Amino acid sequence: MLLVLVMVFLPSVLSVEISLSRDKYYPGETLQAEITGNFISLGLNNFALYKEEIPREMPVISGLTKRGEVYYFYAVLPSQDGNFSLVIEDAEHFGENGLNDENIVKNFVISSGKGNRTILRINPGFVLTEGDEFSINLKSLSGNVDVNAELLGVGEVRSLFLRAYLEETVKFSTVGIGLDGELVIGDYKIPVFIIKKGESFIKDKNALVFIPSKLEGSAIAGQNYIFEIIVKNEGDINLTGINFSVGEGKVSPAIINLKAGERSYLNVSISIPKNAQNFSKKIIGRFGNEEVTLPVLFDIIKNIKEVNLSGSSLTGNFNCSMQKGNICLGGEVCDGDISPSLEGGCCKGRCVESKETNYGFYIGVGLLILVIVIVVFMIWRARKKGGMKMPKDILKERAGRGEEKMFGSKEVKGSLGKE
């Protein structure tokens, strides 16, 4: 009888639900979600983002935690319009048919229509803190705005002025907040969780992230490319002795320390082998027993004018002339490093004529000379054997034949009269 009652009530108790803070978001805005359900396990790696049913790379800035029976998730959305879905994949949970790992889908829209509301990018989308204060990064996506921020449970209200598209860090005190609180900024609500000593919690987000999340484009084999990337500590603890490496290249500095929330710039030099048909490597960051990677994917092309590294690096955001470099023409190669620019690959050395182009020219000339030599040799050989006449001999012979037809071939002697 007890088993029957359990089976009757399981569907309502164990159903999974994703509740979003809104159904329509602005490009680059922060999505916040609350997930309820009986999961065997649920981690950040179980979350996926789809556009028009096509999987996309998950946002670099995202996080997951659990408080009580509720999971809290956030992610900074892509900067593009479209119909999207937040999908939980391969996470075992109890549903109406018992234990399964079926996908759980929540649809939403990203649209550039701002309307009248204030649009913010918030990082993080929830707060976990063990100290007496915490900080949050805010960026206005709807121009310069004045907003009020109130930390519920404390009664602290602050007026904030946010400049358009400029990220600002704001600090708040947790004194008197109790166990849980909520930070209200405009119409955004950010959960604040105070972690007590010995308390277990999920803090499943990458502590170390690369910006951008990958390097890709088209490049020339046998060249050296340089990039400037950001590495950021998204966690709440300091990281020491972070070691960076990349196959076929070099990272400088190779070892750094990052405080919680701190970022640093890395210079990455990548050498593509001369015989490369395609190029796929990883920039690796190691700290403790953890490892994070940044994929490096290049299509190998022949024409340097078609080199495209736009979007691969922060240094690609300005002109080649501002980098004191040159744009090489077709048939030229760079004898120094190449960095991204708005015009394409920017040569930080001299543009010189491609050796491959020189070889092609010399090979062509050599073949022409060889053909001429062969023709001359054949003519000489034929004349030596008497089997071939020169053009002037042929003309002379033809002129002689014409005279024979006109005057006859025999000489006429004697008189034309009778004897």
The per-type count for the chain, helices as H runs and strands as E runs, is 3, 32
- Quickly count: other Cβ atoms within 10 Å of residue 313's Cβ: 20
Q: What's the pLDDT score for residue 83?
A: 95
Q: Is residue 333 part of a domain?
A: yes
> Integer distance in angstroms from the first to the last C-alpha of the chain?
159
Q: Both 116 and 183 in a single domain?
A: yes
Q: Angle CA(190)–CA(195)–CA(197) in degrees, nearest 5?
A: 175
Q: Is the pTM of this model over 0.85?
A: no
Q: Both 91 and 155 in a single domain?
A: yes
Task: Take residue 216 and report the two structure tokens written for it.
Answer: 């890709």
- CA 212, 216, 217, 223 dihedral sign is positive
Q: Is residue 71 part of a domain?
A: yes
Q: Both 245 and 233 in a single domain?
A: yes
Task: Take residue 374 and report the two structure tokens written for it.
Answer: 């062969």
φ and ψ at 401, to 5 degrees? -65, -35
pLDDT over 60 (residue 208): yes
Helix or strand run (H / E) with residue 182:
strand 180-185
Select the more confidently predicted residue: 10 or 285. 285
Cβ 13 vs Cβ 69: under 8 Å: no
E-assigned strands of 52-142?
A: 54-56, 62-67, 70-76, 82-88, 93-95, 98-100, 104-110, 120-123, 127-129, 133-140
Stretch 294-299: mean pLDDT: 85
For 13-17, 152-156, 278-282, 391-395, which range has the lowest pLDDT when averaged over its residues?
391-395
The residue from 194, 216, 243 where one domain ends is 194
Q: Both 43 and 176 in a single domain?
A: yes
**Which residues sit opposite 297 in a β-bridge?**
216, 280
Helix or strand run (H / E) with residue 346:
strand 346-347
Query: In the block, which residue shows the tokens 């550039």?
Result: 112
Q: Is residue 415 part of a domain?
A: no
Q: Both 116 and 53 in a single domain?
A: yes
The residue from 170, 194, 218 where one domain ends is 194
Select the more confidently predicted residue: 385 or 336. 336
Q: Both 113 and 164 in a single domain?
A: yes
Stretch 292-316: mean pLDDT: 68
Task: Take residue 165 and report the two structure tokens written for it.
Answer: 């598209």
pLDDT over 60 (residue 381): yes
Q: Both 44 and 18 in a single domain?
A: yes
- What pLDDT, in 10s, does the model give residues 98-148? 678 888 999 999 998 877 889 999 999 998 887 788 889 999 998 899 999
Counting the structural domains of the chain, the total is 3
Q: What's the pLDDT score for residue 20?
A: 95
Q: Both 32 and 157 in a single domain?
A: yes
Q: What's the pLDDT score for residue 161?
A: 93
For 76-90, 200-214, 338-352, which range has the lowest pLDDT when averaged over its residues?
200-214
Domain of 89: which CATH number? Answer: 2.20.130.20
Q: Both 227 and 349 in a single domain?
A: yes
Domain of 228: which CATH number? Answer: 2.60.40.10
Q: Is 2 helix (H, G, I), strand (E, B) or coil?
A: helix
Q: Is residue 406 part of a domain?
A: no
Going by pLDDT thresholds of 50, 70 and 90, the confidence category of residue 5 is: very low
Task: Take residue 110 and report the two structure tokens written for it.
Answer: 């990203």
Q: Is 235 helix (H, G, I), strand (E, B) or coil?
A: coil
- What pLDDT, in 10s, does the model give residues 62-89? 889 888 789 999 999 988 899 999 999 9
For a pLDDT cut of 90, what percent of the chain falls above it? 21
Would you say how long the chain is, in residues?
Answer: 419
Helix or strand run (H / E) with residue 222:
none
- What pLDDT, in 10s, does the model give residues 165-206? 888 889 888 887 776 788 999 999 999 988 765 554 555 445
Q: Is residue 243 part of a domain?
A: yes
pLDDT over 90 (residue 391): no
The residue from 168, 194, 220 where one domain ends is 194
Q: Both 320 and 363 in a single domain?
A: no
Cβ 239 vs Cβ 208: under 8 Å: yes
- Quickly count: other Cβ atoms within 10 Å of residue 310's Cβ: 15
* Residue 349 CA to its chain's centroid (Å): 26
pLDDT over 60 (residue 44): yes
pLDDT over 60 (residue 325): yes
Q: Is residue 19 part of a domain?
A: yes
Of 339, 340, 250, 246, residue with least CA distance to 293? 246
Of 129, 157, 381, residue with least CA distance to 235? 129
Q: Both 306 and 365 in a single domain?
A: no
Q: What's the pLDDT score for residue 172?
A: 87
Helix or strand run (H / E) with residue 175:
none
Q: What's the pLDDT score for residue 243?
A: 93
Highest mean pLDDT among 41-55, 171-185, 222-236, 333-347: 41-55
Domain region containing 178: 7-194
Q: Both 33 and 173 in a single domain?
A: yes
For a pLDDT cut of 70, what percent of the chain falls above it? 75
| Distance (Å, whole) CA 235 – CA 363 | 60
Q: Is residue 289 part of a domain?
A: yes
Q: Is residue 201 part of a domain?
A: no
- What pLDDT, in 10s, does the model give residues 235-272? 767 888 999 998 878 899 999 999 887 888 888 888 88
Q: What's the pLDDT score for residue 309?
A: 65
Average pLDDT value over all residues in the chain: 78
Stretch 260-288: mean pLDDT: 86
pLDDT over 70 (residue 407): no
| Distance (Å, whole) CA 19 – CA 41 | 19
Task: Take residue 224 and report the two structure tokens written for it.
Answer: 């050296």
Select the more confidently predicted residue: 406 or 396. 396
pLDDT over 50 (residue 14): no
Stretch 346-373: mean pLDDT: 72
Q: What's the pLDDT score for residue 22?
A: 92
Q: What's the pLDDT score for residue 314?
A: 41
Ramachandran bin of 186, using left for φ above 0, alpha for ψ from -120 to 50, beta for the remaining angles: left
